[in-house]
Structure 1
Amino acid sequence: MSATLLVLVVVVALVMAYVNGFHDASNAVSTTIATRTLRESTALAMAALLNLLGALLGMALLVLTADWAVHLLGMMPLAEATAQDPDLLAMALLAVMGTTVFWDLLTWRLGMPASTWHAFIGATLGVTLVIGAAANWERLGLLLLVSLAGPFLSAGIAFALMHGLLRLGRHELVQRGHLRFAQTLSAGAVATGHGINDSRLPLAVVVVAASSGGIAPSSLTGIMVAVAVAMGAGTLMGGHRIIRTLGRHLTDLSVAQGLAAEVSAATTMSLSLFGISSPISTSHALASSVVGAGAARGLRTVRWKVALQIGVTWLITPLASAVIGAAVIGVIRELMAP
Structure 2
Amino acid sequence: MIRYGVIGTNFITDWFIEAGKTMKDFQLAAVYSRTDERAQAFAEKHGARHTFTSIEEMATSSLIDAVYIASPTSFHAEQAKLCMNHGKHVLCEKPLASHDREVEGLIQTASKNGVILMEAVKNTALPNFHSLKEAIHRISPIRRMVTSYCQYSSRYDAFKQGTVLNAFNPDFSNGALMDIGLYCVYPIVDLFGKPDDIKASGVRLSSGVDGEGTLLLIYPDMEAVAMYSKITNSQLPSEIQGEKGTIRIDHIQKLQDIQIHYTDGRVEDVTKPQTNLAMSYEIKTFHQKINRQPSSINSLETTLYTAQVMTEARDQLDVVFPADKTR
In which range does the TM-score fall when normalised by the shorter chain?
under 0.3
Higher strand share: 2
Higher relative contact order (CA 8 A, sep 6+): 1
Higher helix share: 1
Give TM-score scaled by structure 2 length.
0.26
